[in-house]
Amino acid sequence: MDKERIIHRICALHETCPGNIVTEKEAISPELIGLNIFGEPLVGFASATDELFEAFKNSDIVGPWFLSPTEWLPEAKTVISLFFPYTEAVKSANRKATTHPAAEWLHGRIEGQAYLLKLIESLKKWFDDNDIKTCVPITDQRFEVVVAGNNFKQYSCVTADTFSSNWSERHVAYIAGLGTFGLSKGLITEKGMAGRFISIIVSKELAADPRPYTGIYDHCNRCGACVKRCPAQAISLAEGKDHNLCGAWLSKMGNLFKPRYGCGLCQTGVPCESAIPRKRRT
């Protein structure tokens, strides 16, 4: 089994796995029946022993609760990271939003995530059938969310008194060569930031993809568009993102749109929404 076959399998599952289309039962309103949530994925491969996994345990980066691939799966050789960009229908609806998220975005956040869990389970089963051991950290019973302190400096993607977890999809995607962080703390891939990540650890040795960047913010041009888009004033060019303000806004959206929640205004209507933005002239 090689990388090409795995990517082919992921794309085939994406074509056939149910859940990427909003059903009549799920739809917030009739015009959303049939909404396609995700487009074609990007796939990145990282070595399970990449030194960055251990580095993320550092209190200055993520924290000691971060579990490395071999702690999740002792036989781990490779981590496969998947980015599913939202479709134009989901992104364009949220682009028009100025305060509250579009219904399409709420579907992407909730039904979209449910779909990714189904897809990754199907992928896991396929590896199992091929005698390859696997672990999907976010569905593993050891996965946990922890309350983090003010100890995230270098990679400050989670900040003071906010929540973190013992596996981070965006950090994994960074290691797998899929992209770098933006001011709004999303990961900017070649298909932009608006979408969702998921990953699987496998016991099969596969060549790691190169990281076509050197700095964690290489793709962000600091244009400040996400600062203007944020309805909670949670982002600033000087301070970056305040996760407490963002979290409070998301809770408010959760109360308003129960059982769904979301926002994502900083990921839509910005130059890094669907592509790596152009560097600004200095």
Q: Which range of residues in 39-47, 50-58, 170-178, 225-233 is near ligand SF4 by CB under 6 A?
A: 225-233
Is 80 a residue that touches ligand SF4 (CB under 6 A)?
no
State in angstroms the smallest separation of the CB of 104 from ligand SF4: 15
- Residue 259, CA atoms < 13 Å, CB-side half-sphere: 4
Virtual torsion, Cα 137, 139, 144, 149, nearest 10 deg: 60
Give the span between the Cα atoms of 129 and 192, in whole angstroms: 34
Q: 14, 173, 266, 269: which one contacts ligand SF4 (CB under 6 A)?
A: 266
CA distance from start to end of the chain? 47
Is 182 a residue that touches ligand SF4 (CB under 6 A)?
yes
Nearest to 188 by CA among 201, 199, 200, 178: 178
Tokens of 219: 């793709």
> Are 279 and 219 spatial neighbours (Cβ–Cβ below 8 Å)?
no
Burial of 9 (0-12, 13-18, 19+ CB in 10 A): middle
State in angstroms the smallest separation of the CB of 165 from ligand SF4: 17
Is 269 a residue that touches ligand SF4 (CB under 6 A)?
no
Is 158 a residue that touches ligand SF4 (CB under 6 A)?
no
Is 270 a residue that touches ligand SF4 (CB under 6 A)?
yes
Tokens of 57: 């345990």
- Give the total of residues touching ligand SF4 (CB under 6 A): 26
Give the span between the Cα atoms of 125 and 253, in whole angstroms: 35
Is 232 a residue that touches ligand SF4 (CB under 6 A)?
yes
Q: Which is nearer to ligand SF4, 97 or 200 (CB)?
A: 97
State in angstroms the smallest separation of the CB of 264 from ligand SF4: 6
Is 222 a residue that touches ligand SF4 (CB under 6 A)?
yes
The CB density around residue 133, as the number of other CB atoms within 10 Å, is 15
Q: Which range of residues in 19-27, 123-131, 136-144, 214-222 is near ligand SF4 by CB under 6 A?
A: 214-222
Which residues sit at the interface with ligand SF4, rule CB under 6 A? 182-184, 220-226, 229-230, 232, 234-235, 241, 246, 249, 263-266, 270-272, 277
